[in-house]
């Protein structure tokens, strides 16, 4: 009986597995194949020489990878800190207002990321909404708030907020109120409850939110281009340059593979730690 | 009517059979009512395509804009010569690569030579890069524009910028006062000129060293880098920067048409290539060597020579540019004073005289490597 169930499960999973193999695995395998080709070729039918990876090390591309990962890490940490209270309120305190908040946050996703970021350019630039008003009121202005690393991190935080907020709220909703009350009754402090009850029980939500934000931020490009004025060159930018102006597909593919490998390893580690079944409500 | 399983199966078989026949039919299809154009933005607007569609009711006219010359050429190389009928690129490629590789074919000289007579003097000669060594006509010029750098003339006077030329960006006083418009292939040319190097000839070791120094200094002193001309113009207008490296009529014209005539493309008065320091791009539209060509290709190329269509091409949405056809007074009369000011019509002949033709960069790969490394640091 068990064997039959297992076989049926495999059978049901086949279409999805096929779809994933075709739409997700195949492109990555193609990129991987390109990444080991000699440089400046446009087909995968050459003798592999791995020289593109040598170029990655020799030309200091690791610096762009480091910048992307560091900014993604900073954005994820900031997002966690600012989303936790909000998500807590959505899950436990607000009632009807949660829906309003959800709609409000989701609505922002209907507008293209570039347009939203350009709105921030107009707000933060010299003579823009903020500096312009301050200069008008006080008579002294300053140099604008754009074109630096903190503003890129700000952009990441702004754009990826929904991707932290909703999984976190979902995770916090899984913390039973009884457990918190019991801890209170037993004399736990507020801090102890957070550390020993809420964080561990909401861990799947935290992990999903952090992973989503980190992975998306690591591959982000628009924030650095529009808000940051390319104050630092992110790895996605390097990949784009290699494929277009550089006309060096193997180099672009190698750069992409390095990012995929790092982010993939972190994601697999994270997913292995989180009990995703618990989050979708299928507990065993 | 009831559908039996048998009739359903028979129907499916018939459809499968018919679909198997389709590709063969398609290959032999008459392309007289189809035209595919691969171009820079402008030719794909309704102002240009709309009237042509009206003239050829029933025909399928499609135009797709590319983001760089090499990208578009790559499409033809990848086998899309079967798809496209016309290709619109900057001047060096038709003679340098497309014709030798058999990707384009000569145009009907009898049909098109008379149009050169009415063009601006630089093109009426006629324009050398529009011809093969054999004398065949391989492309028709239309839009063009000097492309060097842009300043805010309220902060840096036009005379000073023209006199100082590219050295303006090496001046320590300019640190953090300019941006770099990252059109990478153009940046390479302009950085060579800044270092008194000729980008179109191979460089020696000393040349590469000079280029490295210039690239590091230009990126080191830049307040912002972006490949978005709107973002760059915005920074220039609000005073965040006073100039930007790489730019010209093409990038300054949208701001100028909005009345900001202090945004001005500058062509240096002197430089390292035959005494010239400015660069000019000129688009050529060529007939793709499609094995199954559309007769509409040359019709369209002739159609865009018309005065009002020339204007629509020059004044397509986004950026505004002079067109070679403005040598004809009837065409030039279609531009009003503001529009002429937007394309810096007053200084155009002088800027053209101080510019060399955009060409392929001799040491592109090596310079690109130095350039991206400098950008990163």
The CATH architecture of the domain made up of B145-279+357-376 is: 3-Layer(aba) Sandwich (3.40)
Query: Where residue B164 falls among pLDDT bands split at 50, 70, 90?
Result: very high
Q: Classify each residue of A156-181 as buried b or exposed e, where b means 16 or more C-beta atoms within 10 Å of its C-beta.
A: bbbbbbbbbbbbbbbbbbbbeeeebe
Of B68, B223, B369, the CB nearest to A229: B223
Query: CA nearest A124: which of A221, A220, A227?
Result: A227
Interface test with B, best of A147, A227, A243 (most B CBs within 10 A): A147
The verdict on pTM exceeding 0.90 is no
Residue-level length of chain A: 284
The angle, 0 to 180 degrees and rounded to 10, between the axes of the packed helices A235-243 and A62-88 is: 130
Give B377's contacts in chain A (Cβ within 8 Å): 60, 63
SS3 of residue B93 by DSSP = helix
Which DSSP symbol is given to B60?
E
Nearest CA-CA distance, residue B371 and chain A, Å? 10
Please report the pLDDT score of residue A150 as a whole number.
96
Interchain proximity B240–A244, CB inside 8 Å: no
**What tokens were used for B109?**
């000289």
pLDDT exceeds 80 at position B262: yes
Q: Distance between CA atoms of A232 and A225, rounded to whole angstroms?
A: 9
Q: Which of B110, B73, B112, B113 is closest to B90 using CA atoms?
A: B73
CB contact under 8 Å between B239 and A42, yes or no, is no
Q: Which of A95-104, B63-72, B111-120 has the lowest mean pLDDT?
A: B63-72
| Local confidence band at B26 (pLDDT 50, 70, 90 cut-offs) | very low
Cβ pair A238:B376 closer than 8 A: yes
The answer to whether the CB atoms of B223 and A147 lie below 8 A apart is yes
Residue B367, SS3? Answer: helix
- CB nearest to B376's CB, from A63, A126, A229: A63
Q: For residue B18, is pLDDT > 60?
A: no
Cα–Cα–Cα angle for B181, B182, B185, rounded to 5 degrees: 120
Q: Which of B93, B176, B184, B376 to mutate to test the interface with A (most CBs of A within 10 A)?
A: B376
What CATH class is the domain B34-144+283-345? alpha beta
| B residues 206-245 lying closer than 8 A (beta carbon) to A | 223-228, 231, 234-235, 238-240
DSSP characters over A122-171 = HHHSTTSHHHHHHHHHHS-----S-SSHHHHHHHHHHHHHHHHHHHHHHH
Task: Give the confidence band of B21 by pLDDT, cuts at 50, 70, 90.
Answer: very low
Nearest to B368 among A127, A144, A246 (CB): A246
Residue B5, pLDDT above cutoff 70 = no
- Model pLDDT, residue A39: 87
Is CATH 1.10.3720.10 what the domain over A52-279 is classified as, yes or no? yes
Digit-coded pLDDT (tens) for B166-223: 999 999 999 999 999 999 989 999 999 999 999 999 999 999 999 999 999 999 999 9
Residues with pLDDT less than 50, chain A: 283-284
Q: Are strands B355-357 and B278-288 parallel, antiparallel or unpaired?
A: parallel
Cβ atoms of B180 and B317 closer than 8 Å: no
Of the candidates B78, B231, B375, which has its C-beta nearest A233's C-beta?
B375
Task: Identify the pLDDT of residue B8.
Answer: 53
* Contacts for B236 with CB less than 8 Å, ≥ 6 apart: B150, B152, B179, B242, B243, B244, B255, B263
| CB of A43 less than 8 A from some CB of B | no
How far apart, in whole angstroms, are the C-alpha atoms of residue B296 and residue B308?
A: 19
Q: Is A136 on the interface with B (CB under 8 A)?
A: no
Res B25: pLDDT: 41
Question: Same CATH fold, B145-279+357-376 and B34-144+283-345?
Answer: yes
Sign, Cα dihedral of A68, A70, A75, A76? positive
CB distance A234 to B357 below 8 Å: no
Average the pLDDT over B135-160 and give the result.
Answer: 97
Partner-chain contact B238 A128, CB within 8 Å: yes
Paired tokens of A153: 């991190």
Angle B193-B196-B199 from CA coordinates, rounded to 5°: 50
For residue B358, the 8-state DSSP code is P
What pLDDT digit, counting tens, does each position of B35-58 carry?
999 999 899 999 999 999 999 999
Closest residue, chain B, to A121 (C-alpha)? B231
Where are chain B's structural domains? 34-144+283-345, 145-279+357-376
pLDDT at B11: 58
Judged by a CB distance cut-off of 8 A, whether residue A75 touches chain B is no
> ipTM of the predicted structure?
0.79
Tokens of B49: 């395509």
């Amino acid at each position: 009986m068990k064997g039959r169930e297992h076989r049926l499960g495999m059978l049901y999973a086949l279409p999805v597995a096929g779809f994933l193999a075709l739409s997700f695995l195949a492109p990555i395998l193609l990129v991987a194949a390109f990444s080991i080709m000699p440089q400046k070729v446009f087909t995968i039918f050459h003798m592999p020489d791995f020289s593109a990876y040598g170029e990655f090390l020799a030309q200091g591309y690791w610096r762009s990878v480091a910048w992307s990962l560091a900014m993604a890490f900073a954005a994820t940490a900031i997002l966690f800190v600012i989303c936790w209270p909000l998500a807590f309120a959505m899950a436990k305190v607000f009632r009807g207002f949660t829906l309003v908040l959800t709609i409000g946050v989701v609505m922002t996703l209907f507008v293209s990321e570039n347009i939203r970021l350009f709105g921030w350019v107009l707000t933060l630039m010299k003579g823009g909404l903020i500096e312009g008003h301050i200069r008008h009121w006080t008579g002294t202005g300053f140099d604008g708030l754009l074109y630096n690393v903190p503003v890129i991190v700000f952009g990441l935080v702004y754009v990826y907020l929904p991707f932290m907020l909703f999984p976190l709220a979902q995770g916090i909703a899984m913390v039973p109120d009884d457990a918190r009350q019991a801890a209170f009754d037993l004399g736990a402090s507020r801090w102890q409850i957070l550390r020993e009850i809420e964080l561990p029980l909401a861990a799947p939500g935290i992990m999903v939110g952090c992973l989503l934000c980190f992975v998306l931020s690591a591959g982000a490009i628009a924030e650095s281009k529009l808000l940051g004025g390319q104050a630092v060159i992110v790895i996605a930018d390097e990949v784009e340059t290699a494929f277009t102006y550089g006309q060096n597909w193997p180099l672009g593919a190698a750069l992409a593979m390095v990012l995929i490998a790092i982010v993939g390893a972190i994601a697999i580690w994270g997913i292995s730690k989180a009990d995703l079944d618990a989050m979708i409500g299928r507990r065993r | 009517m009831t559908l039996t399983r048998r009739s359903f199966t028979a129907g499916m078989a018939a459809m499968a059979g018919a679909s198997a026949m389709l590709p063969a039919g398609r290959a032999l299809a008459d392309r007289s009512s189809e035209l595919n154009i691969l171009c820079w933005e402008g030719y794909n607007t309704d102002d240009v395509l709309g009237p042509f569609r009206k003239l050829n009711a029933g025909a399928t006219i499609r135009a797709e804009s590319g983001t760089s010359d090499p990208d578009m050429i790559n499409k033809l190389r990848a086998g899309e010569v079967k798809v496209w009928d016309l290709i619109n690129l900057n001047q060096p490629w038709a003679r340098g690569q497309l014709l030798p590789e058999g990707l384009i074919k000569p145009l009907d000289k009898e049909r098109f030579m008379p149009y050169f007579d009415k063009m601006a003097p630089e093109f009426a000669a006629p324009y050398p890069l529009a011809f093969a060594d054999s004398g065949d006509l391989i492309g028709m010029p239309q839009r063009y524009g000097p492309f060097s750098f842009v300043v805010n003339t309220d902060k840096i006077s036009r005379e000073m910028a023209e006199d100082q030329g590219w050295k303006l960006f090496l001046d320590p006083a300019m640190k953090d006062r300019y941006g770099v418009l990252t059109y990478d292939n153009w940046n390479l040319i302009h950085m060579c000129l800044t270092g008194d190097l000729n980008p179109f000839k191979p460089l020696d070791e000393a040349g590469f060293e000079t280029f490295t120094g210039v690239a590091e200094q230009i990126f080191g002193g830049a307040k912002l880098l972006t490949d978005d001309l709107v973002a760059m113009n915005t920074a220039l207008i609000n005073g965040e920067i006073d100039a930007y490296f790489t730019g010209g009529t093409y990038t300054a014209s949208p701001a100028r048409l909005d009345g900001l005539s202090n945004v001005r493309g500058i062509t240096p008065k002197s430089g390292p290539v035959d005494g010239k320091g400015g660069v000019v791009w000129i688009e050529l539209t060529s007939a793709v060597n499609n094995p199954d060509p559309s007769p509409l290709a040359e019709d369209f190329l002739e159609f865009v020579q018309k005065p009002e269509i020339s204007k629509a091409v020059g004044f397509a949405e986004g950026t505004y540019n002079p067109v070679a056809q403005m040598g004809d007074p009837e065409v030039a009369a279609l531009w009003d004073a503001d529009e002429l000011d937007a394309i810096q019509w007053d200084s155009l002949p002088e800027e053209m005289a101080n510019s060399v033709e955009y060409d392929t960069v001799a040491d592109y790969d090596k310079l690109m490597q130095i350039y991206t490394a400098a950008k990163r640091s």
